Each structure stands twice: as structure tokens, then as C-alpha cells.
Structure 1
């Protein structure tokens, strides 16, 4: 079998926890609070080529839990994967990187966040399911709207 075979290739090379941070800046005093904390969860997706046909895709969750205006705990976890993606049309590559890869990574990230909460002495934070396809499509629409806006502002008066 030669290297110039045009058969599409999609393989997971490795899954790994790339970064993990836990902060409890107001402990131990805030641990005595009886007020229900507010939980804010943000997700971020990043992807970059590592080598020819090899991509790193990372999903980051930032979980901020506050009681009033004081932080109870802050967790930032970045779960990543290295994927081999070859001989795939460019229009499909974005979807694979923006939808398929994060869908494979996310369950690991959910487990890590839940586990670190428990190990820190708190009830687990369960990250809800994410529709990466809807997220990807919304980003595509936002990009198209921004491009249309940039085109409109660059038109001569």
C-alpha cells in the first residue's frame, strides 16, 4: 500500500488531560457558608495542526462557583486529543475538527471536572451534554455575518 492512497483516514492518536487547575481562594472560611452557590460554566474549543494530517483538538471547561461575590472554587480543565485526519475534503475537515473530535473528547472532560470537584470536597459538578454540531453551525453563521458586515463596511460611499 502506497502513501499516495486517497482513502480518507480518521484515527485517534491519543487522548490526554492537557491542563488542570483548582483554586479555592476563600477557603476555609467560605466553606462554612450555608448559602446555595451559583455555578457558571464556560466551554471553549481550540484546534491546531501539529504536523501534516495531525491535529490537536482541545476542549476547555471553566467552572466558577460563587457564594455571593466570593469564589467558592474555580476549576479549569483542558482535555485534548491528537487526531490523524487525512484525505478529507476541506469543507468536511472543519466539521470533523469542530464537531466529531470534541464529541469524542468531551466525555473525558466531564469525568475530570466531576472527579476534581469530589476530590476537592464538593458535590460533583456534572457538565451537561453539548450539541457540538449546533455550536459549530452557530459559529459558522456568526463568521458569515461578521464577514458580511466587514464587506458592507468596506464598500465605497
Structure 2
């Protein structure tokens, strides 16, 4: 019976999901459209957490994609997808994975769709990002933090 009580005490809800910022740049158009299309894709992710009030957090996922053909930048797309999440009843050990993995995992499909749409509207071939294993990324981050003590805290 005590286990059921613990599960009831934990609360999670999505309050809002929104695009905080987005950018699409094509610095070398129209010349890039006449060049041979052999793209090299650079993919970067970053997350940020802001505590808005007790048990209410903004988690943002920033995805940056730079596509080059040779030394020429074809396009740069950046999406900062955010959400407001209400979390209650989670202990400190559970909050890290919730903020560093669970919430970004919810946000990623929205960022992925925005990126695909921007790239296509920019006149380039569709860019479909592969799924991201946020659990593995969070575990890697925790390991790096443990190897370099005193560099900050997780959240």
C-alpha cells in the first residue's frame, strides 16, 4: 500500500510547449544551389533548465545544425524548443533524469519538425534528424561531472 502512495505523490504535467527562438540562415545563396550537393552536417544539442517557481520548471532544448558543402556553408538552422513542466514529489536523484532526459525527450520531436520545415522552405532537401537517446546523453553528462568534481551541478 505504501508503494501506491509514493506513486500518487509524484506528479508530472506539461503546462506549455513552445518555440522560444528559431533561426534559418543561407549565407551563400543562390550560389549554393548551383554547386554539387555533397553536404556535411554538424549537429549540436544543448539543454537548459530554469526553475520558475516551486515545482514548476522551464526546460529548453537548443538544436543547432550547420550544413556545409566543402568549405561553403549551405545553411545554418537553430531551434530553441521549450516547455514548462510541473513536477512534484520527485527526490533529488529523480529530478536530474527528469530535467536532463525525460523533458528534452518530449521536446525533441517538436524541434525536429521545426527544423525539417525550415530546411524544406529554404529550398533544400528535407532534413530528418534521427532520434536522440537522451538517457545515454544524460548518463554521459553525469559521468563527466563525476570525473571533474566542482565543475557545477546537474539540473
- How far residue 148 of structure 1 moved from its aligned partner, in angstroms, is 8.3
Equivalent residue of 2:149, what SS? helix
TM-score by length of 2: 0.88
Alignment of 1:32 onto 2:34: yes
Question: Does residue 106 of structure 1 match 2:108?
Answer: yes
Match of 1:62 among 54, 61, 64: 64
Give 1:35 shift. 3.7
Residue correspondences, number: 144
What are the within-5 Å matches in structure 2 for residues 137-152 of structure 1? 137-147=139-149
In structure 1, what is the Cα distance between the partners aligned to 2:146 and 2:113? 34
- Structure 1 residue aligned with 2:84, among 82, 85, 91? 82
Deviation string for 1:98-155 (max 9, x for gaps)?
A: 1110111111111111111111111111111111111000000000000189xxxxxx
Deviates more, 1:118-127 or 1:11-20: 118-127
Provide the secondary structure at the position in 2 that maps to 1:147.
coil
Unaligned residue ranges in structure 1 (runs of 5+): 1-5, 150-157
- 2:50 corresponding residue in structure 1: 48
SS in 1 for 2:45: strand
The corresponding residue for 1:3 is: none
1:71 alignment partner in structure 2: 73
TM-score using structure 1 length: 0.87
SS in 1 for 2:36: coil
Q: Report SS of the residue matched to 2:95.
A: helix
- Separation in structure 2 between the aligned mates of residue 129 and residue 30 of structure 1, nearest angstrom: 28
Q: State the alpha-carbon separation in 2 of the partners of residues 41 and 125 from structure 1.
A: 12
Ranges in structure 2 where 5+ consecutive residues have no aligned partner: 1-7
Output the aligned Cα RMSD: 1.5
